[in-house]
Structure 1
Amino acid sequence: MRTLLQAVLSAMLLALCITATTQANERYIVKFKEGKESAVKAALDAQGAKLALDLPKHNAAAFSLPAQALTGLSHNPNVEYVEQDAKRYLMSQTVPYGIPLVQADQVSDSVTANIKVCIIDSGYDLAHEDLSGNRVEGANDSGTGNWFTDENHHGTHVAGTIAALSNDVGVVGINPHGNLNLYIVKVFNADGWGYSSGLIAALDVCEAAGAKVINMSLGGSIKSRTEDAAFAAAETAGILSIAAAGNDGNSRYSYPASYRSVVSVAAVDENKQHADFSQYNSQVELSGPGVGVLSSVPMGTALVAATSVANHDYLAIAMEGAPTGIASGVLIDCGSGEQQCDAAGKVCLLQRGNISFADKVLACEQGGGVAAIIYNNTAGQLNGTLGTTVTAIPAVGVTADDGAAMLLDVGNDATVAIGPGNYAYFDGTSMATPHVAGVAALVWSHFPLCTNKQIRAALQQTAEDLDTAGRDNYTGFGLVQAKAAADYLALNGCTAGGGNNTCKGKHCR
């Protein structure tokens, strides 16, 4: 998994609680001393302040204040205090692009109580606002910590894609109504690695817990005969095992995904294009959304970013390693950032390319810049990291199109903010895998008499063909499709999936 935390605009702005750099004509609430309202209002009017909202019951009012008026208020004996008129945003719920892309929103999860999905990963934040209402149990390997905590963030993100709740906050998962049974086996600590023997033991725990589908957003390049045999036995026992194809961007096989008994999942982006990091080989079977996937992470651990230029809000992604904070200033074009920009008190706009993101941000900071916005030089959002470089200013990435729009507004006011949040965008076949596992559980719940092999075959048969016609090494049979698979089984019965079950239509449910 690429551990790049990105951000949800509204969630970040709601949670952020830090002091903003003062800009002209921002809104402030002024609290008057008893009986001094008229005097203060007259003084502010003379200084060019605009009354935005009167609050007579509270002996206060909101004003749009120029800088000189704000300075004067700090010395006005008739004022009790002045505070920023903080913005408030709707607590809204986002449907990640992957949910409709795999048709999960077209199939009801009302009967998923007959299915259990086992997630072998780094744990599950049981306190998360989008996960705490699920039917969930778990276990953990010795030394990894409690299964209901997640120091690595990975497992909670995976679980959110499968089963984030439809509860008016955050995101929704493939099975969003709390009916699906989850079982968590924590095999990774914060370091994010374990052994093949531990994975075999986790598989045994999943089977003992009654899991029908196993999600493994994990893998390694070395094959294990013992592991291979264990997954083959699990397949014989009726379990559908699903694993990530790998993120090395080459044709190397990754295990357990490349065992015959395991479904290997590749990643595609929101345009259904193969992700450049996704491994490709003869074992790739299905594809799922794996680029810029928005899902849950342990509460308060995400870096959430927001950017505004000339009063226009843009979706931004916090640079991994950037400090939290909020800063405002006039936007200045600093080109590619290869030379120090005279940016004293300003927000640097920088184009991706030639030098590292960290060097660009450092050049901005050394030139006196208060924040950095780096725009992409290719299509799509810019996921960036500062690596081990320590900077003192907030830095974010935006798309090439948004960067072009910002260039037209150079000289106008800009604001960059980074704060804590509960949701993040991750890249990786790790993110694609739960889309397939979630769909498998969703479809299987409607056809419980089908076998694991029949469900697997139905998913292959109905995947949306991508890339080269027919099965290919990059996307397998194609993008997994929930409704197409359900319709296929309803029409043809489980026997069409390769078994001897003769039920069809409603009789197969």
Structure 2
Amino acid sequence: MVGLNLGCLNESGCFIKPVMMGFIGILLFCGLFIQVSGADSDEVRLIVYAAPNETGGYEPVPPDVPLPENVTYSLRSPLLGFVAVDTDPNETEYVTNELLNLPWVHEIEQDAQRKSGSVTKDDQIINSSPDQWALVRTGVDTVRRSGLNTSVLKVAVISTGVDLSHPDVGPIDQGYDWAGQDSRPEDADGYGTALCGVISLIAGNVSQNSTNSSLVLIPERIGVTGNDMSASRSALAIAHATDAGADIILMGYGGTEPSRAEDRAIAYAKDHGVLLIAPAGDEDSNAMHYPSDHFDVLSVGSVAKTDGLSYFSNYGIYNELVAPGEDIITPCLNTSYCRGTGTGFAAAEVAGVAALIKNGYPGLTSAEIRSLLQSSATDLGRTGRDIYYGYGLLNAPAAMKAAEDLTLQKTLIAFNSGTGSREMRRTLGSGNTTLHELQLVPGWNFVSIPAPLRSQKTCRDLFSKVNTDGHTIWTYKGIGGWIAQNPEISPAPLDGLLVYSDAPVSVPLVLNMNSNSTKPVEKGWNLAGSPFLKEIPARDILSPNESSWVSILPFNVSTQQYDPAIISGAEGRFSDTRNISPFTSFWIFMDTNGTFIRSSEV
């Protein structure tokens, strides 16, 4: 079976030419990605593809591949199922037909060219100017970076490499130079360094904040300059960055021709949960532009200081967002600074905000982050999405708020009662009556009492000095949902109560310390109280022999909002080492059946 000649870049206009092939030479290849020789400027590079298989991968590329005369190998990717060969332009058709006769060859196309923008050095700039207009216009300067997740977030930047010594570029790890074929992607152009610097500046990971190591950049160099890039190198870089653990990939380049190799790499990255971002292009055109016009890539256009579309920015149905792309101050080579203009810088800003979201809310998927960026954008132009501004202008504070809201929604999933129930039990230490105070703040309070009241006061008596401003005191009863607390009975130990107060107030509690307390805890969401009279890490709230709780959602009375969820076994922002305060209640999601027992001194 012979393959398809895709030199015309679409199958409808291609043709099949079976030709008898003379075997001239054999070259042995091994490894994941190999480049044997670079293509000269007067050569044409062909990408030779193996067919897709039923498992979602590709048929194997034989290690021994015969080549026609005057044809040399350039690149090889068994992972993506292709090899690239270089040949004389006058022999392209002959070589194509010869290769198509090989049984493993599925299709062939010429390597598509890619190019990126450029930067201009400005000796008068001495720092990255965090107050520059682009960050103010997108609200990045108002986003709080404190308290974000401390786990490592990786952002790959595919361009001309990076100045590895620049102080305003974050930590570098696992990059590669596909143009020079070594593991040191040193930038000789400056554009790649500029893109890395924008992301580092937005994510707050520059030299002034060297203690924040949560952002790591993966620079992938696919061209010495912005004019010598190719889709084959792009594909290798995308796959390599994915395997290196990238959460976000910025592809700082584009071209007018599609590429099967790039498509395969993008599909591979998407399947691994990577968010892919690319500039819409700088040709002031609505012609097709790749990889930004790929369905699985977030395409970003540029706006000027007036919020109008930049004079150079491409537009069209694939544009999703716009961001400032003119007169952007960026790090440059040799620890200097440049001014940059182009959709690449707008895309880098979107990548930086996406990194902030992923860093703060690591439980969100790439598809969710992409959707949040769209829904939170500031609408420009015609109402709704349009071909010039997409969904609108990047809005960092709104995107972060939307991420917080979505994380809360994901945490508060529909209550699942299941078939079993458990108990959370508190065995109190020996003693007699103990006097405590329940402190309420203005607004809603999530409270709980860890032991029976000595006086057996009713709910009405207990909160008689609290002005609830007409609000009902609520409790949550699983399948029954929210119910009004009966004012004529005493609050049950370890039950959660939702109490409103119009002012700060202290409620005295006289507890019976000789009484043990239990609370049934059902599968799904429960509103429960802390069984301790002191702060305790969330991981120790329940019996150490039981681990079937999944997440805890505490309410912050100071902000009148939920704090980030506490996830069992998590670290960083969602760490289960975070403390639960006494006399507070919280949402706790249970996963499996069992009885939780707590037996310790108060």
AA matched with 1:251: N
Tell me, which stretches of 5 or more residues in structure 2 are unaligned?
Answer: 1-115, 415-524, 526-550, 554-561, 567-573, 575-602
Counterpart of 1:153 in structure 2 is 190
SS at match of 1:95: coil
* Structure-2 separation of matches of 1:112 and 1:466: 35
AA matched with 1:5: T
Alignment partner for residue 98 of structure 1, among 107, 117, 134? Answer: 134
Counterpart of 2:122 in structure 1 is 7
TM-score (ref. length: structure 2): 0.46
1:434 equivalent to 2:492? Answer no
The residue correspondences of 1:202-351 to structure 2 (distance < 5 A) are 202-299=237-334
Question: Is the 2:177–2:185 Cα contact (8 Å) retained in structure 1?
Answer: no
Counterpart of 1:68 in structure 2 is none
* Structure-2 separation of matches of 1:166 and 1:475: 30
Please report how far the alpha carbon of residue 130 of structure 1 lies from its aligned counterpart in structure 2 after TM superposition: 1.9
CA separation of 1:230 and 1:148: change in aligned 2, threshold 3 A: closer
The residue correspondences of 1:325-404 to structure 2 (distance < 5 A) are none
AA matched with 2:360: H
CA shift digits 1:465-491 (9 cap, x unpaired): 112211111111111222211211222
Counterpart of 2:459 in structure 1 is none
AA matched with 2:124: L
* Structure-1 separation of matches of 2:250 and 2:119: 21
CA shift digits 1:375-405 (9 cap, x unpaired): xxxxxxxxxxxxxxxxxxxxxxxxxxxxxxx
AA matched with 2:331: S
TM-score (ref. length: structure 1): 0.54
1:454 equivalent to 2:512? Answer no
* Structure-2 separation of matches of 1:10 and 1:201: 36
* Structure-1 separation of matches of 2:283 and 2:193: 23
Alignment partner for residue 180 of structure 2, among 123, 143, 158? Answer: 143
* Structure-2 separation of matches of 1:92 and 1:195: 30
CA shift digits 1:97-128 (9 cap, x unpaired): 22232222313164364311011110110121
* Structure-2 separation of matches of 1:255 and 1:162: 22
Question: Is the 1:112–1:442 Cα contact (8 Å) retained in structure 2?
Answer: no
CA separation of 1:177 and 1:97: change in aligned 2, threshold 3 A: farther
Counterpart of 1:16 in structure 2 is none
SS at match of 2:281: coil
* Structure-2 separation of matches of 1:452 and 1:256: 17
Question: Is the 2:128–2:168 Cα contact (8 Å) retained in structure 1?
Answer: no
Counterpart of 2:155 in structure 1 is 117
Alignment partner for residue 507 of structure 1, among 565, 572, 580? Answer: 565
Please report how far the alpha carbon of residue 167 of structure 1 lies from its aligned counterpart in structure 2 after TM superposition: 4.2
Please report how far the alpha carbon of residue 179 of structure 1 lies from its aligned counterpart in structure 2 after TM superposition: 3.0
Counterpart of 2:21 in structure 1 is none
CA shift digits 1:321-360 (9 cap, x unpaired): xxxxxxxxxxxxxxxxxxxxxxxxxxxxxxxxxxxxxxxx
Counterpart of 2:171 in structure 1 is 134
CA separation of 1:2 and 1:453: change in aligned 2, threshold 3 A: closer
SS at match of 1:227: helix
Counterpart of 1:380 in structure 2 is none
- Identical counterparts, % of pairs: 29
CA separation of 1:494 and 1:434: change in aligned 2, threshold 3 A: farther
CA separation of 1:490 and 1:223: change in aligned 2, threshold 3 A: same
Question: Is the 1:454–1:496 Cα contact (8 Å) retained in structure 2?
Answer: no
* Structure-2 separation of matches of 1:112 and 1:161: 21
CA shift digits 1:239-276 (9 cap, x unpaired): 10000100000111210000000000101123322101
AA matched with 2:393: L
CA separation of 1:494 and 1:115: change in aligned 2, threshold 3 A: farther
AA matched with 2:133: Y
Tell me, which stretches of 5 or more residues in structure 1 are unaligned?
Answer: 12-90, 301-421
CA separation of 1:218 and 1:284: change in aligned 2, threshold 3 A: same
Question: Is the 2:280–2:319 Cα contact (8 Å) retained in structure 1?
Answer: yes
* Structure-2 separation of matches of 1:460 and 1:285: 7
CA separation of 1:220 and 1:459: change in aligned 2, threshold 3 A: same
CA separation of 1:139 and 1:6: change in aligned 2, threshold 3 A: closer
Question: Is the 2:161–2:220 Cα contact (8 Å) retained in structure 1?
Answer: yes
* Structure-1 separation of matches of 2:125 and 2:231: 41
Question: Is the 1:113–1:181 Cα contact (8 Å) retained in structure 2?
Answer: no
Question: Is the 2:197–2:331 Cα contact (8 Å) retained in structure 1?
Answer: yes
CA separation of 1:107 and 1:137: change in aligned 2, threshold 3 A: farther
* Structure-2 separation of matches of 1:100 and 1:147: 34
Structure 1 or 2: larger helix share?
A: 1
Question: Is the 1:454–1:494 Cα contact (8 Å) retained in structure 2?
Answer: no
CA separation of 1:465 and 1:227: change in aligned 2, threshold 3 A: same
Q: Which has the higher contact order (CA 8 A, sep 6+)?
A: 1
* Structure-2 separation of matches of 1:477 and 1:115: 26
- Which of the pair has more CA radius of gyration? 2
Question: Is the 2:248–2:355 Cα contact (8 Å) retained in structure 1?
Answer: yes
SS at match of 2:120: coil
Counterpart of 2:386 in structure 1 is 472
CA shift digits 1:396-450 (9 cap, x unpaired): xxxxxxxxxxxxxxxxxxxxxxxxxx11111101111110011111111111111
Please report how far the alpha carbon of residue 178 of structure 1 lies from its aligned counterpart in structure 2 after TM superposition: 4.5
CA shift digits 1:28-63 (9 cap, x unpaired): xxxxxxxxxxxxxxxxxxxxxxxxxxxxxxxxxxxx
SS at match of 1:434: helix
What RMSD over aligned residues (CA atoms) do the two structures have, in Å? Answer: 3.1
